[in-house]
Amino acid sequence: MTAPLPRLTAAQAAARLGVKPQTLYAYVSRGLVTRERDARGSTFDALELEAFAAGRRRTAGRTPTHPTTGMPLGIVQTDIADIEDGELLYRGRRARDLIDQPFAEVVAWLWGAERIDAPDTAIGSARAMVEALPPHAGAMDRLRAALTGFAADDPLRHDTAPTTLHRIGWTLLTGLPVALGGDAQLDVARSLAGAWGVSDGPTVRAINAALILLIDHDLAVSTFAARVAASA
């Protein structure tokens, strides 16, 4: 009796089809390829993949795909996030498993950059801009004013070097809540909550979770709409 062929890992299956792992899982979600899951991860039947690969060769050109990535059209893929079986993943980790961690720690992990708090001079400049606004100024007015203050304090704001971008990012993430009235000694979510006049635990946890779940702006409706408009 012939022994069954060993099952392929996701990486092996993607390599056999000549696609990225995200594309492979897109095939799974569309019912084109089946898989089995266990504690070690997803595995695929080698013979089924051979048949699918042969079918793709026969129907080449019929399935619309992105000209650069080869992803089926309508599949969202970013450098940070992926959606598999209805689950939002950040670099392979479930987003819902991260929401109880401090927002800044998740950012440091995704960026691979150690946290750098906003300098006092930058916070002072941003606060001065906010305080100069009339009492009826709205939340977006206050944010714009704070951003202007941070920009005015940073002569390297146009530098696109990774280290500079990380520093600017940390300045805004840690400094904006403080410029709006938060406490510099608290974590980002709690400082932001303080700026909004709330401090109860459930609200702070909800703000922290929201910050983490919205961390990939490539998935935001506004970003997607802007890209559609630009492409047209």
Domain with 131, as residue range(s), is 103-231
Place of tokens 């977006």: 140
* CATH code for position 61: 1.10.1660
Do residues 65 and 112 share a domain?
no
Question: What would the two tokens of residue 161 be?
Answer: 């070097």
Query: pTM value?
Result: 0.64
Structure token pair of residue 217? 């702006």
**Residue 48 has which token pair?**
């089924």
Tell me the torsion sign for CA atoms 138, 140, 145, 150: positive
The answer as to whether 219 is a domain residue is yes
Same domain membership, residue 107 and residue 197: yes
Q: Indicate whether 205 and 110 sit together in one domain.
A: yes
Looking at the structure, do residues 73 and 183 belong to the same domain, yes or no?
no
Residue type, 96: R
Q: Considering the domain boundaries, does residue 89 fall inside one? A: no
Indicate the DSSP class of residue 37. Answer: E
pLDDT in tens, the chain (232 residues): 566 778 888 888 888 888 888 788 778 877 788 888 876 678 898 888 888 887 765 544 444 444 444 544 445 557 788 776 677 888 778 888 999 999 999 999 988 889 999 999 999 999 999 999 999 999 899 999 999 999 999 999 999 898 999 999 999 999 999 999 999 888 999 999 999 999 899 999 999 999 999 888 776 777 778 777 877 7
Burial of 202 (0-12, 13-18, 19+ CB in 10 A): exposed
